[in-house]
Amino acid sequence: MKQQVADRMRGISAFYVMELLQRAKQLEREGRDVIHMEIGEPDFPTPQAVIDAGRALLKTGEVKYTAAAGLPELREAIAEHYVRQYGVKVDPGRVFITPGASGAFLLAFGISLNPGEQVMMADPCYPCNDNFVRLFNGQTHFVNVGADTEYQLTADLIAQNWRPNSKGVLAASPSNPTGTLLNGADLKYAIDQVHRLGGCFYSDEIYHGLIYDQPAATALAHGDDAFVINSFSKFFGMTGWRVGWLVVPDDFVEAAEKLAQNIFISTPTHSQHAALASFTEDNLAELERRRLEFKARRDFLYTNLLKLGFKIACKPEGAFYIYADCSAFTDNSFAFAGELLEREGVAVTPGRDFGKYRADKHIRFAYTASIDRMAEALTRLERFICR
Amino acid sequence: MKQQVADRMRGISAFYVMELLQRAKQLEREGRDVIHMEIGEPDFPTPQAVIDAGRALLKTGEVKYTAAAGLPELREAIAEHYVRQYGVKVDPGRVFITPGASGAFLLAFGISLNPGEQVMMADPCYPCNDNFVRLFNGQTHFVNVGADTEYQLTADLIAQNWRPNSKGVLAASPSNPTGTLLNGADLKYAIDQVHRLGGCFYSDEIYHGLIYDQPAATALAHGDDAFVINSFSKFFGMTGWRVGWLVVPDDFVEAAEKLAQNIFISTPTHSQHAALASFTEDNLAELERRRLEFKARRDFLYTNLLKLGFKIACKPEGAFYIYADCSAFTDNSFAFAGELLEREGVAVTPGRDFGKYRADKHIRFAYTASIDRMAEALTRLERFICR
Ligand SMILES: Cc1ncc(COP(=O)(O)O)c(C=O)c1O
Ligand SMILES: Cc1ncc(COP(=O)(O)O)c(C=O)c1O
C-alpha cells in the first residue's frame, strides 16, 4: 500500500469557476478591466457596527477558545432572531455556532450520515453539498429540477426518489444558483414527507434575509425535527469572518456538542463577538438598505438579460444570483464563459459548477457588482453575443 | 429508518474534563476561588503586534473570503519560518492555512484516510485524534507507551503494530499530555519506518516553540513525505483566532486544495492577516520571553510535584503539561480530580481523557497559571493528599 490519496477525493472536483478566477486575475495583472459577476459574496464591506464590535473585542487581547457550541449570548441572540423574524420559538440549546455554514454542514452530516447512505438534493445546487456528503462516504442522489417546481424538490419528487438507503433531503431556499424559494405550504409538505419517510431534512437557509418579494419561511416553523444551516456570511455581510450556525433536533444535541468539541474546538471568538452586533436596530436598518440595493440590482439585471435574449425560467426571488439559460447563444456554457472573459472581461460562473442537468445551457450571474458596473457588463455582453 | 444519530457518534465521547469545567464554573458562581490547571491554552493574551494587525485589517472593513489554501503571503511566511527555525526548505505551495490544527487534522485525514483504515497513535495522546479518525470511519490503533520510550512511538513499535489495513502513524512532539519529544534520530527512524511500510506519517507539531531544553525537530527535516500539522494557537498565543496550517506531500497538494475549497471555503481572513504579524522580530522576542516564563513554571511545578510524592516518569521537555502519576494517593484519578476540585478548588485533567493505558493512575497539570497561583495550588494539593 502506497501513501495514497483517499478514494473519496476521486469524486471531488475543483470548482470550474476557479479556472476562470485565475484567468481573470491574470488578465487584471496585465491591465485589463474585469467585471466580476462570478463571485458568491456581497461586494459591501462588513457593516460598521460589526467591525467596531470585532475591534473592541480584539482590544482586550482575550481571544481565547469559547465553549464548543458557541458564546451563550450569541446562541440566545439567534434564538431571539427566530422569534423576531419568523415568530418561531427555538431553544438556544439547539443552536450551535459553527465556522460558517460550511462548518454547519460538517457538523450536520458528521452527526447524522453513515457511509453508504444517500442524501437527496436538487440538480442544480451549491457545488459543495455533494462534496460534504462524499467527505463522509455518503452518496448524493441528484434529482433534476426545472422551472415546473421552481428548481426545488417537492414532496412528490422526494417520495418518488426515496430509496432504502436514503438518509435525508437537503434543500436550499433561496437556492444557489437559481435564487428560487421552497416556501409556504410546499416547504411544509416537503418536510412532512421526509419525516414521514423517517429521514432527515437539512434546510440551507444561508440566503435568508436576501429575499425580495415575499417573506421567507424557515423549516423551524414546521416542527423541531429539521436541521437548519445558516450563516452570518451573506445577509449579514461577514464572509471572511467564518461564523454561522446549525440548529439540530433535540435528539442530536448531545452528538453535536461532542463533535463540535472535537473537530472545531470553537468558532473564531472575535467573529462571534462581532456577530453579536448584527442584531442591533441600527445594523438591521443598514442591512435593510443593502437588501433594497440588491433588489434593485436584481430587477435591473433580470430585465436586461431578458432583453438580450437570455431565458430565465423563474424570476429569482432571493440570494444574489440569476441562473440564465444561454442556449440561444451556445450549447457549451463553459466555453461561453471562458470566451466572455477573454474577449470582454466579464466573469460569470458556468452551469457545470452546479450540476449536470442542462448545465451546459446555463450560466450564473452574481449581482454582487454595482448597477453601473453591471450596465457596463451588459454592454460588453451585448457586443459579445452579437459578434 | 428513523432520524438517527450516525453510528460513528457512539464511539465519540465528550471530554471528561468538561464535567469538571462545568462544576468549576458552578463553584466560581458560588464565590469559590478555583485555580485552573486543567486548561490547554496559554493564559497570556494574544501578543500586541498580532492584535494590532488584526485591528488594522478590520478597520478596512474588507473581511472577504481568501483563497482556500490561505493568503499567499502567510503561506510564504510559514515557509520562511521553516528555513529560519529549522534550516528546512518547504515549498509554500505545500502549506495550507486551516482553521486551527483542528482544521489541519480534518484536511489531512479527509484527503488520505479511507473508511476501515487504521491510524496508529500513542496511548496516552490528545483526545481528539481518535475522534478525527472516527469521523472518517477509520479505526484508531492505540499503542500503549510509557517511560521506556518517553511516551512516544518508536520505529520498532510501529513495525510490531503495523497491520494490513494500517494507513499511517500519528505522532505529537512535544506530546499532549506528557510534554515529551520524539526527536533527533528517533524521529527519523519512525518516519523512515512508516514510509518503508508504505504509510502516511502525520506529525502534530502544535507545541513546537514551547520547548525548554533542546531544539525541536520537524518531520519536514526528514523528507517531503510527512503531513505536518501546526497552529498559531499555542506558541503564538492565538487560540481563539482559529488559524493553523497543514503541510502536505506533493502528491496530496491537489486533493488538499479541492477539499479545503469545499469544507472551509477559507480560514478567517482577519486571523490570517493578524498571524502574519507573528513573525516580526519584536513579536518573536515577546514569544521568547513567554517561553522562558513557561520554562520557569515547568521547573517550579515539576520540582514541587515530585516533593509532594507524585511520580513523573519523564521530565517533560515541552508544551505546558505535566503528566503525573498519582497512584501514591489514589487508584482512581478521575475521582481524585473531582474531589480535588470540590474540596480545594484546584482543577486538573483526569488521565482518562487521554486514553486507557494506566489512565486511572494519572492526572495532567497544565502550567497555564502563574507561579503564584501554582504555589497556592500546591499548598492546597498538599493539604488534600495529607487529609
Ligand atoms: C447555498 C450555500 N450554502 C452554504 C454556503 C457556505 O457559506 P459560509 O460557509 O460562508 O457560511 C454558501 C456559500 O457560497 C452557499 O452559497
Ligand atoms: C496536541 C494538540 N493538537 C492539536 C490541537 C488543536 O488546536 P488548535 O485547533 O487550536 O490549533 C490541540 C489543542 O489543544 C492539541 O493539544
Q: How many CB atoms lie within 10 A of CB A91?
A: 12
- Selecting from A12, A167, A240 the residue whose C-beta is nearest the C-beta of B270 gives A240
Whole-number Å distance between alpha carbons of A375 and A198? 49
Whole-number Å distance between alpha carbons of B268 and B273? 9
Residue B98 pLDDT: 98
- Kindly state whether A46 is in contact with chain B, defined as any CB-CB distance less than 8 angstroms: yes
Q: Measured at the alpha carbon of residue B319, what is the angle toward residues B316 and B323, in degrees to the nearest 5?
A: 45
- Selecting from A4, A18, A240 the residue whose C-beta is nearest the C-beta of B266 gives A240
Q: With contact defined as beta carbons under 8 Å apart, do A128 and A105 qualify?
A: yes
- Kindly state whether B162 is in contact with chain A, defined as any CB-CB distance less than 8 angstroms: no
Whole-number Å distance between alpha carbons of A110 and B137? 10
From A107, A196, A105, select the one nearest A158 (Cα to Cα): A196
Question: Regarding predicted confidence, which is higher, A2 or B63?
Answer: B63
Closest-approaching ligand to the CA atom of A205: 1
Q: Alpha carbon of B359 to those of A74, B125, B204, B355: distances in Å? A: 37, 11, 22, 6
Q: How many CB atoms lie within 10 A of CB B88?
A: 17
| CB spacing of A9 vs B259 below 8 angstroms | yes
Q: With contact defined as beta carbons under 8 Å apart, do A194 and A201 qualify?
A: yes
CA atoms within 13 A on the CB side of A92: 13
Percentage with pLDDT > 90 across chain A: 95
Closest approach of B328 to chain A, Cα-based (Å): 32
Residues in A closer than 8 angstroms to B238, CB to CB, are: 63
- Kindly state whether A7 is in contact with chain B, defined as any CB-CB distance less than 8 angstroms: yes
- A244 CB within 6 A, ligand 1: yes
The residues pairing with B171 across neighbouring beta strands, listed in sequence order, are B203
> Which A residues, 87 through 146, put their C-beta within 8 Å of a C-beta on chain B?
99-100, 102, 105-106, 110-115, 127-128, 131-132, 135-137
| CB spacing of A65 vs B41 below 8 angstroms | yes
> Which A residues, 285 through 304, put their C-beta within 8 Å of a C-beta on chain B?
none
- Selecting from A18, A46, A262 the residue whose C-beta is nearest the C-beta of B12 gives A262
How many beta-carbon pairs under 8 angstroms link A with B? 236
Closest-approaching ligand to the CA atom of B246: 2
* Intervals of chain B under pLDDT 50: none
| CB spacing of A9 vs B265 below 8 angstroms | no
Residue A26 pLDDT: 95
Whole-number Å distance between alpha carbons of A246 and A240? 18
Interval A57-70 mean pLDDT? 96
Residue A2 has pLDDT above 70, yes or no: no
Residue B295 pLDDT: 98
Q: With contact defined as beta carbons under 8 Å apart, do B163 and B141 qualify?
A: yes
Cα(A273) to centroid of ligand 2, in Å? 22
Q: With contact defined as beta carbons under 8 Å apart, do B94 and B248 qualify?
A: yes
Whole-number Å distance between alpha carbons of B294 and B288? 10
The residues pairing with A365 across neighbouring beta strands, listed in sequence order, are A322
From B141, B131, B139, B178, select the one nearest B161 (Cα to Cα): B141
Domain B61-279 has CATH 2.102.10.10: no
Q: What is the pLDDT of residues A292-337, one digit of tens each?
A: 999 999 999 999 999 999 999 999 999 999 999 999 999 999 999 9
Residues in B closer than 8 angstroms to A62, CB to CB, are: 45-46, 240
DSSP B348: -
Closest residue by Cα to atom 3, ligand 1, is A206
As annotated, the residues of chain A forming the CATH 3.40.640.10 domain(s) are 61-279
Residue A41 pLDDT: 94
Closest-approaching ligand to the CA atom of B124: 2
- Selecting from A13, A60, A100 the residue whose C-beta is nearest the C-beta of B258 gives A13
- A314 CB within 6 A, ligand 1: no
A7-46+283-385: CATH number: 3.90.1150.10
The residue whose CB lies within 8 Å of the most ligand 2 atoms, and thus the one to mutate among B102, B109, B227, B349, is B102
Residue A1 has pLDDT above 80, yes or no: no
Residue A82 pLDDT: 98
Residue A387 pLDDT: 80
- Kindly state whether A195 is in contact with chain B, defined as any CB-CB distance less than 8 angstroms: yes
- Selecting from A240, A261, A265 the residue whose C-beta is nearest the C-beta of B63 gives A240
The residues pairing with B228 across neighbouring beta strands, listed in sequence order, are B203, B247
Whole-number Å distance between alpha carbons of A373 and A146? 30
Residue B387 pLDDT: 80
Closest-approaching ligand to the CA atom of A177: 1
Residues in B closer than 8 angstroms to A234, CB to CB, are: none
The closest-lying atom of ligand 2 relative to the alpha carbon of residue B172 is 1
- Kindly state whether B6 is in contact with chain A, defined as any CB-CB distance less than 8 angstroms: yes
| CB spacing of A12 vs B258 below 8 angstroms | yes
Residue A19 pLDDT: 87
Q: Which residue from A minimizes the CA distance to B110?
A: A135
The residues pairing with B169 across neighbouring beta strands, listed in sequence order, are B120, B201
Cell of B210: 514551547
Cβ burial of B148 (10 Å; 0-12, 13-18, 19+) is: exposed
Closest residue by Cα to atom 13, ligand 2, is B40
Cell of A180: 428560487
Cα(B248) to centroid of ligand 1, in Å? 26
Q: Which residue from A minimizes the CA distance to B114?
A: A6
CA atoms within 13 A on the CB side of B236: 30
As a three-state string, the secondary structure of chain A is CCCCCCHHHHHCCCCHHHHHHHHHHHHHHCCCCCEECCCCCCCCCCCHHHHHHHHHHHHHCCCCCCCCCCCHHHHHHHHHHHHHHHCCCCCHHHEEEECHHHHHHHHHHHHHCCCCCEEEEEECCCCHHHHHHHHCCCEEEEEECCHHHCCCCCHHHHHHHCCCCEEEEEEECCCCCCCCCCCHHHHHHHHHHHHHCCCEEEEECCCCCCECCCCCCCHHHHCCCCEEEEECCCCCCCHHHCCEEEECCHHHHHHHHHHHHHHCCCCCHHHHHHHHHHHCHHHHHHHHHHHHHHHHHHHHHHHHHHHHCCECCCCCCECCEEEEECCCCCCCHHHHHHHHHHHHCEECEEHHHHCCCCHHHEEEEECCCCHHHHHHHHHHHHHHHCC
Which secondary-structure segment (H or E) carries B376? helix B371-385
- Report phi then psi at B3, rounded to 5: -60, 100
- A38 CB within 6 A, ligand 1: no
Closest-approaching ligand to the CA atom of B99: 2
| CB spacing of B238 vs A271 below 8 angstroms | no
From A257, A255, A253, select the one nearest A266 (Cα to Cα): A257
Cell of B195: 514510509
Closest residue by Cα to atom 5, ligand 1, is A101
Residue A101 has pLDDT above 60, yes or no: yes
Cell of A111: 452527526
Query: What's the N-to-C CA distance of chain A in angstroms?
Result: 55
Q: With contact defined as beta carbons under 8 Å apart, do A279 and A80 qualify?
A: yes
As annotated, the residues of chain B forming the CATH 3.90.1150.10 domain(s) are 7-46+283-385
Residue A18 pLDDT: 87
Whole-number Å distance between alpha carbons of B169 and B158? 8
Q: Give me the count of residues in chain A.
A: 387
Q: Which residue has the cell 520571553?
A: B289
Residues in B closer than 8 angstroms to A241, CB to CB, are: 63, 268-270
- A40 CB within 6 A, ligand 1: yes
Residue A216 has pLDDT above 90, yes or no: no
Residue B2 pLDDT: 67
Residue A14 pLDDT: 87
Closest approach of B264 to chain A, Cα-based (Å): 6
What's at A331, amino acid-wise?
A: D
Closest approach of A272 to chain B, Cα-based (Å): 10
Q: What is the pLDDT of residues A6-37, one digit of tens each?
A: 999 999 988 888 889 999 999 999 999 999 99
Cα(B101) to centroid of ligand 2, in Å? 6
The residue whose CB lies within 8 Å of the most ligand 1 atoms, and thus the one to mutate among A206, A243, A353, is A206
Cell of A228: 437548519
From B100, B163, B102, B169, select the one nearest B132 (Cα to Cα): B102
Mean pLDDT of the residues in chain A:
97
- Kindly state whether B67 is in contact with chain A, defined as any CB-CB distance less than 8 angstroms: no
Q: Which residue has the cell 442524501?
A: A119
Residue B329 pLDDT: 97
- Selecting from A54, A111, A127 the residue whose C-beta is nearest the C-beta of B6 gives A111
Cell of B119: 491510524
